[in-house]
Amino acid sequence: MVTIKDVAKKASVSIATVSAVINNNKFVSDELKERVEIAIKELKYRPNKVARSLKNKKTNLIGVIVTEITNPFYPLMLKGVEDVAKKNNYQLIVCTTDDDPQKEYDLVQSMLDYGIDGVVLATIDDKESKSVQLLEQEEIVHVLINRSPEVYSDNSVLIDSYKVGEIATTYLIDLEHDDIAFIGGDRLNSREREKGFKNALAKHGVELKDNRIIKCNYDAEKVYQNVLQLIEQDDMPTAFFAASDTMAFATIKVLLDKGFRVPQDISVIGSDNISFSEDFLIPLTTVDAQAYEMGRLGCETLISLLNESENNSYIKPYLLEPSLVVRKSCQKKMEG
């Protein structure tokens, strides 16, 4: 970790001079100021604006970073974080990344400048995440929820997405569906659900036909267009399994728009069990990914870590068990 001492050494000035330049509270000649600023830039030193004045003090602020809040899955998760934070007298700073790693990194930097005590991140897939590296460098307590790199062995609270895929697919197979399409995206949870989907098909001897893996990256319009293409080609499966409820909703919408009956003609199962799934046009059968529990346990883990001054390990990776929620969007495959 680059320190103010490193900057002073590179610029050949005193630590007091570097501090004066950073805080702009004492006169420094233009020549010295320029040397300090060049050293800061070359060393990529990032002075923590607020935390400097709060060293060894708590702000009772927790940062929370999620992908988006338009998907009802995330507000439910945030509710779990908020309930625990409020109970423990913490306030939240909530930000969204839109799956942009640079935006995420910039947000983490800003949170550090506000002196946050810890961070809950629901956005990390990459084992080389700059955001996680920065938090580790700054020795800021953090917990990953919802997503984490496959090799991650530190504190995290996740749903077992592989089992989500197995549960959903096995349910459709038990309903005698033998031509099932998977709709997913390029996120770790979706990739794990796809693995569970494929494993369940193989285990039960069900063929995975060509073009039955549809990558729509959680984009409802892409889901609509891809399913529409199958309809226009007259190449329809008897059931769809979507890696999120929002993609399942988009699937049902295009099916209904084109005159199909759900579930009489085609069954659709989702993942997540978001709040709208029960009240959708056709109540959605789905797999509960325990969004609220992830948020709740993630925040409890973070606060436990913050309260453990010497022990920096509380829960390590923790997998929540998914469960099937049967509603009305699936039924036994009709013959003929």
User: What domains can you pick out in the chain, each with its CATH number?
Assistant: 4-47 (1.10.260.40), 57-159+291-322 (3.40.50.2300), 161-288 (3.40.50.2300)
Q: 157, 156, 113: which is closest to 134 by C-alpha? A: 113
Q: Which residues of the chain have pLDDT under 70?
A: 1, 25, 47-57, 309-315, 336
Rg (CA), the chain: 24
pLDDT at 57: 66
**φ, ψ (nearest 5 deg) of residue 325:** -120, 105
List alpha helices for the chain, DSSP H: 4-11, 15-23, 30-43, 73-87, 101-113, 130-137, 161-174, 188-203, 220-232, 245-257, 291-307
241: Cβ–Cβ under 8 A, 6 or more apart, which residues? Answer: 165, 168, 169, 172, 180, 181, 182, 183, 197, 269, 271
Question: What pLDDT is stored for residue 114 in this prediction?
Answer: 81
* Predicted local distance difference test score (pLDDT) of residue 54: 47
CB atoms within 10 A of CB 38: 13
The confidence score (pLDDT) of residue 83 equals: 98
Predicted local confidence at residue 28, as pLDDT = 85
How far CA 216 is from CA of 155, 221, 319, in Å, comes to 30, 8, 26
- Amino acid 309: pLDDT: 44
pTM of the model: 0.81
DSSP state of 332: P
What is residue 48's predicted lDDT score, i.e. its pLDDT? 59
